[in-house]
Structure 1
Amino acid sequence: MSETRPAPLTGLTVVEISAFVAAPLGAMTLAQLGADVIRIDPIGGNIDANRWPINLGYIAEVQATGKTRGPLGNGLYDAYGPSFETSDGRQIMVAVISNKNWRGLGKATGLTEKLERIGPLLDVDLSTEGGRFEACEAIDAVVRPWFAAHTVTEAAAALSEAGVLQGGSQTFEELVKSDPRCSLENPLFSEIDQPGVGTVIAPRVPLVFSGTPAAAVVPAPSLGGDTAKVLSSVLSARANWASEK
């Protein structure tokens, strides 16, 4: 029989004084690994407390509001890597970071001759990443109609066969509504009752350690919901301190 061990950070107390995405995410991860995380906010909430729906998360936002956010931009900087809409309304991104990829783009689309004309016209070297980046708008104009005439599956197959880096993308609404990887079929996800939001599915921490049961998914605490507990157990203050203030 294997021994059950506590989570790796059990017994560690972390005090979090932060806002917005990165630092709170780090503290949440520490909590999921067993640490006792105490977040300190000013009375009424920190500067990110009311930035709805940013704090809700992309997946929960779709479930709670029925809406999805628009694209934020997928361009690859300093190389040719745009995204295109296909005939079925989907998006596909290509990344041309080598001459093999560049030749493959022309082969897959049948537009090699037209693409070769861009370099002399714009006086750029399309055999370099910088040259293709500089000419990206002209390249887009040549290949965009090809993508518009093909479904995402057709485009992906042709590009892949020609050696072009590519990948279809989906909105968070499509992810939540039709992708089984973001559903209760995936053991990473469970339903939680999030205060102020309702019932949503949310992922647990994906890390699993030998002998340690996987951490359960739990709702995010309400602002100030643990104040009395922290004051009494950690700071040895009276439990009614907050109400007195």
Structure 2
Amino acid sequence: MTVATAGRPLANLRVVECATYVAGPSGGMTLAQLGADVIRVDPLGGATDNSRWPLAPGGASLYWHSLNKGKRSVTVDLRSPVGRELVTALITAPGPDSGVFLDNNVARSWMDWPTLSARRPDLVHVHVQGHRDGRPAVDYTVNAAAGIPDMTGSEAGGAPVNHVLPAWDLLTGQTAVVGLLAALRHRDRTGEGSHLEVALADVALAGVAALGWYADAQLSRTDRPRHGNHVYGSFGVDFPTADGGRVMVVALTEGQWRSLCRVTGTGEVFAALEKALGVDLEDEVSRYRHRETIEAVLRGWFAARDVTTVSRELEAARVLWGPYRTPTQVVRDHEADPAASPLVEVQQPGIGRMLAMGSPLRAGGTADPPRPAPVLGADTDAVLADVLGLGSAEIGRLHDDGVLAPVAADR
């Protein structure tokens, strides 16, 4: 597999990634989308995330192939001294655009900062953790500990409601990328290496704290109430339509509130309500406090129209809104008008054509298309030859000795 990165911001940068699941691999994918040559290193046969759901009909992991787009794949026997030396040499290979390492390994002392930096002092190493003290964690455990599930769900209360999106994993991956690029900037200016650590639990706490939610709990000594699908602190809620559709409508600003009143023809009703209650509904706090009354007034307008009509009229009125779609509806919308969708199909080895998306960053209004993920281990020989200068005879012996997978499985 060739890595076409010319013209991209991180072209010629080489990053070695030894990470599994979401946080580390999503960070590596972001670097690859920006043009870096990201070499993912796995044990022979793949790591524990190689077969994670969802799966393609043929059994290949859509999860793995979606998180590793645009990378190169190397598989090595990480238990053997020779295999470990090969990986160490890849991480610490000389050159101004190499010596960059992203990992989430636990208890691999041969892959830690003191060991690796002894080989290359200007190494940039970003290590992803669960907790800052080294304890393991995943998105679903840190999200629970951060308090988010207790804010989510029906106003009636009950058990906490978990979120299916591993948002903290994804944000941790992007935080790792920011740290890595900052460390590269530091190395370019000073020649010094850096060892950065980013803990998933810390990213979750930082995210919630940045929204002021912990400060609110500290000062009010009360927990934020559950509001179902109502937006906290403003007006926003979902409305069913006549044909069983559903849309989410939000009015954060005075202009958005006026647009919503105008398109629904409820301006006079709300003017009377303001007079009766002695409030100004152009004030965001007032809209929040009277959210249920506002919802009741607006519900009839939505219930009398199908989702197509509602969508057309809200769009024309410049109301802040969005449709509710299932994943299959997203796919059908893409298939109906591919030119309007940022999703594209890639020809993925081992799977066939599958939907994917490249970097959401656009340069000059244009986004780079996604590149498929590698076949597990398919780039091993090429990487060892290109980066370490190994000849075909040396690589053949490594295959024969079991340090690399058998040739038929690795090529």
Q: Shorter-chain TM-score: what band?
A: 0.5 to 0.7
Residue 96 to residue 7, structure 1, CA distance change in 2 (3 Å): same
Match of 2:330 in 1: 175
Residue 96 to residue 205, structure 1, CA distance change in 2 (3 Å): closer
Q: How many residues align?
A: 224
Compute the displacement of 1:181 (Å).
7.5
1:38-72: per-residue Cα shift (whole Å, max 9, x none)? 12345665564444129736xx8xxxxxxxxxx98
**1:68-147 superposed matches below 5 A:** 76-112=231-267, 115=270, 126-147=281-302
2:404 aligns to what SS in structure 1? helix
Compute the displacement of 1:220 (Å).
1.3
Residue 23 to residue 88, structure 1, CA distance change in 2 (3 Å): farther
Compute the displacement of 1:80 (Å).
1.4
Match of 2:26 in 1: 25
Contact 1:104 1:163 (8 Å CA) reproduced: yes
* Stretch moving more, 142-151 or 217-226: 217-226
Contact 1:7 1:33 (8 Å CA) reproduced: no
Structure 2, gaps ≥5 residues long: 56-60, 67-163, 166-227, 407-411
Match of 2:17 in 1: 16
Match of 1:56 in 2: 62
* Stretch moving more, 24-33 or 142-151: 24-33
Match of 2:372 in 1: 219
What amino acid does structure 2 have at the position aligned with 1:6?
Answer: A
Normalised by the length of structure 1, the TM-score is 0.63
Contact 1:125 1:131 (8 Å CA) reproduced: yes
More helix by share: 2
Match of 1:66 in 2: none
Percent of residue pairs identical: 40
Match of 1:164 in 2: 319
Normalised by the length of structure 2, the TM-score is 0.42
Once residues 19 and 372 of structure 2 are traced to their aligned partners in structure 1, the CA distance between those partners, rounded to angstroms, is 19
What amino acid does structure 2 have at the position aligned with 1:86?
Answer: T
Contact 1:124 1:135 (8 Å CA) reproduced: no
User: Cα RMSD over matched residues?
Assistant: 4.5
Once residues 120 and 187 of structure 1 are traced to their aligned partners in structure 2, the CA distance between those partners, rounded to angstroms, is 47
Aligned to 2:308, which of 147, 153, 157? 153
Q: Is 1:6 matched up with 2:6? A: yes
Contact 1:191 1:200 (8 Å CA) reproduced: yes
1:110-131: per-residue Cα shift (whole Å, max 9, x none)? 4456556777999986443233
Compute the displacement of 1:79 (Å).
1.7
Compute the displacement of 1:199 (Å).
2.7
Compute the displacement of 1:190 (Å).
4.1
Residue 21 to residue 82, structure 1, CA distance change in 2 (3 Å): farther
Residue 117 to residue 52, structure 1, CA distance change in 2 (3 Å): farther
What amino acid does structure 1 have at the position aligned with 2:404?
Answer: A
Compute the displacement of 1:200 (Å).
2.0
Compute the displacement of 1:150 (Å).
0.8
Compute the displacement of 1:228 (Å).
5.0
Once residues 386 and 234 of structure 2 are traced to their aligned partners in structure 1, the CA distance between those partners, rounded to angstroms, is 55
Compute the displacement of 1:86 (Å).
1.8
1:128-162: per-residue Cα shift (whole Å, max 9, x none)? 32332343344333322321221233324444565
Match of 1:38 in 2: 39
Residue 133 to residue 188, structure 1, CA distance change in 2 (3 Å): closer
1:141 aligns to what SS in structure 2? helix
1:72-109: per-residue Cα shift (whole Å, max 9, x none)? 89764422122323223333222211234334433433
Contact 1:30 1:37 (8 Å CA) reproduced: yes
1:154-210: per-residue Cα shift (whole Å, max 9, x none)? 324444565633344543323322435863897973441342x44324345577879
Contact 2:345 2:353 (8 Å CA) reproduced: no
Once residues 273 and 331 of structure 2 are traced to their aligned partners in structure 1, the CA distance between those partners, rounded to angstroms, is 41
Contact 1:93 1:166 (8 Å CA) reproduced: yes
Contact 2:32 2:38 (8 Å CA) reproduced: yes
